[in-house]
Structure 1
Amino acid sequence: MASPNGSLTPNPASPAARPRLDPKEAKSSVQSLAKGLRVLEAFSRDADEMTLSEIAAASGLDAGTTFRMLNTLVSAGYVARIPESRRFRLTLKVLDLGFNAIAHQDLRAIARPLLQALVDEVSEAASFGVLEGGDVLYIERVRAGFTRLGVDIRIGTTIPAAVTSIGRAILAFLPEHRLERVLATPPRHPMPAPKVPDRATLEPALAAIRRDGHVVERSAITPDLRLLAVPVIGPDGWATGAISVVAPATQFSDDDLKSRALAPMLATANHIARAQEAVGSTSAIAP
């Protein structure tokens, strides 16, 4: 916000005008991240280009901290230096954060009732996941009644895509250049076990999934569970996500689980794909 003399002063809604974290909360927070977000929030429609000193004033940070935050954000691609000036501006990459959140909310709204109907039919827990970088991001999950399985997969959980059945169901139906990009992206949270398979090991598995249209196997993370996963195929023929059903391995063989759940899962995946297309939901897989 501009003062009468034309200088920038903190907006009442800006980070600088907000109370600092309670000391107890501060112990469990990352202050440098909070400061970086305050720098991003300093930009507005009326101040879309600013100098370092203007950003420092608007964010309520000192010049040295602001300088370090800006350098980090420039390196990460969220802020750009304006050539032949001392000013900075946000890049369009910032929009990706909002668009991804909106897209994921849309996907959850689409998937939730369809997964619930699937669980009601097969009486086993079901999940819907999409790709995010090199990981599967679990967008929605519906449990079967009060049954708890020996795996802690929650909404928002990320697991390296090549490790999971739901991830491989997606990978099998990607164009080659996208598959290469996903496999080259380091996982957000590397896992000590199971290890991510190399391409020579992974390719026969993906070829089998392409042939069969599904994958059924014991969980690589929790071996006493059996998983059946099918891709959600968009109008271009490529996967936009995948759904999975999980059941105790001691109670179901591969054939038992397919006999019980494959047909309704394929129908659910088709319904999700058609709903995505109807509402124009953003694909989780970048072009």
Structure 2
Amino acid sequence: MADKGGVQSVERIFALIERLAAHPAGASLQRLAQETKLAKSTVHRLLASLVALGYAMQDGETGRYRLTLKMFELSSGIVNSMDIMGVAKAHLERLAQRTGEAVHLVIRDGQDIVYIYKTENGPMRMSSRVGLRSPLYCTGVGKAILATLPPEKVADIWARSHPQKLTDRTVTDLAQLQAQLEGVRVNGYAVDDEENELGVRCVAVAIPGADGRADTAFSISGLTPYMTPERLRRIAAMALDARTDILADLGLLRQN
């Protein structure tokens, strides 16, 4: 029974941490209790522990709770250990400067992608953020990664993704997605045409490993009116050049 209670406490604390992460500006005790479906007294006790350990803080004026940078310090050690991060960062920053758009680097986690790096060089700011999780099937980076996988693996990921329409352009049919992925393989890049967020288009390129499969990808995102088909093609060419440079630095550049 003691072990079961311990597991339950761990599950609750991580559920609370995930909800706090979803509210970077902070959330009230009542809201956190509603979203975690836990009693306010339980949430208050767990928050007190997080605050005491330095992983959360309470705003003295608003009373809202939010995570501290101590939580980021834990994850940053993992992210910084990834070769892809150290190698790609300079190339992606240069790409952002050349295009004047937001550039993201993501890593696959199951049926989702997680944003691990973001750089912006233009006046507009995207709503995306490091740590954000999105489905593979409706994002440009996700489709770029899926295109490096065999159809049966794509079908397995699809079955576990519970696809739904995030916008009226979101693909929710596996056959249609597989057809899109064929186009990605031919062109070398994927396009998210307002499928994940209305008003935003992006070009995405996967960074394959030695076996040709990818767990990471990067994208260049901009507002739809400025991401015309012609400009998308120009940006895609720049993205593919950047991918070549990244693969060369990683020692993974394959000779055709």
- Give the Cα separation in 1 of the matches to 2:45 and 2:246: 37
Q: How many residues align?
A: 186
Counterpart check, 1:113 vs 2:90: yes
Q: Cα gap change, 1:144/1:100 in structure 2, threshold over 3 Å: closer, same or farther?
A: closer
Taking only aligned residues, the RMSD between alpha carbons, in angstroms, comes to 3.3
**Alignment partner, residue 234 of structure 1:** 209
Counterpart check, 1:223 vs 2:159: no
In the TM superposition, residue 233 of structure 1 has moved relative to its aligned partner by 2.3
SS in 1 for 2:225: coil
Could you tell me the TM-score, scaled by structure 2's length? 0.61
List runs of 5+ in structure 2 lacking aligned partners.
Answer: 1-28, 33-41, 51-73
- Give the Cα separation in 1 of the matches to 2:187 and 2:137: 18
User: Is the contact made by 1:225 and 1:248 (CA closer than 8 Å) also made in structure 2?
Assistant: yes
**Alignment partner, residue 24 of structure 2:** none
In the TM superposition, residue 192 of structure 1 has moved relative to its aligned partner by 6.3
Counterpart check, 1:27 vs 2:43: yes
Could you tell me the TM-score, scaled by structure 1's length? 0.55
**Alignment partner, residue 238 of structure 2:** 264
- Give the Cα separation in 2 of the matches to 1:197 and 1:153: 22
Largest Rg, 1 or 2? 1
Deviations 1:50-101 (A, max 9, x none): xxxxxxxxxxxxxxxxxxxxxxxxxxxxxxxxxxxxxxxxxxxxxxxx9997
- Give the Cα separation in 2 of the matches to 1:264 and 1:276: 18
- Give the Cα separation in 2 of the matches to 1:100 and 1:172: 28
- Give the Cα separation in 2 of the matches to 1:29 and 1:166: 39
Q: Cα gap change, 1:111/1:30 in structure 2, threshold over 3 Å: closer, same or farther?
A: farther
- Give the Cα separation in 2 of the matches to 1:159 and 1:211: 25
- Give the Cα separation in 2 of the matches to 1:102 and 1:277: 21
Displacement over 6 Å in runs of 4+:
98-101
- Give the Cα separation in 1 of the matches to 2:135 and 2:225: 26
Q: Cα gap change, 1:273/1:145 in structure 2, threshold over 3 Å: closer, same or farther?
A: same
- Give the Cα separation in 1 of the matches to 2:177 and 2:165: 18
- Give the Cα separation in 1 of the matches to 2:75 and 2:213: 21
**Alignment partner, residue 150 of structure 2:** 175
- Give the Cα separation in 2 of the matches to 1:233 and 1:137: 17
- Say which of 88, 104, 116 aligns to 1:139: 116
In the TM superposition, residue 208 of structure 1 has moved relative to its aligned partner by 0.9
**Alignment partner, residue 184 of structure 2:** 209
User: Is the contact made by 2:165 and 2:171 (CA closer than 8 Å) also made in structure 1?
Assistant: no
- Give the Cα separation in 2 of the matches to 1:276 and 1:100: 20
Q: Cα gap change, 1:176/1:220 in structure 2, threshold over 3 Å: closer, same or farther?
A: closer
User: Is the contact made by 2:107 and 2:115 (CA closer than 8 Å) also made in structure 1?
Assistant: yes
- Say which of 193, 197, 201 aligns to 2:166: 193
User: Is the contact made by 1:129 and 1:243 (CA closer than 8 Å) also made in structure 2?
Assistant: yes
**Alignment partner, residue 124 of structure 1:** 101
In the TM superposition, residue 237 of structure 1 has moved relative to its aligned partner by 2.0
SS in 2 for 1:223: coil
Q: Cα gap change, 1:154/1:99 in structure 2, threshold over 3 Å: closer, same or farther?
A: closer
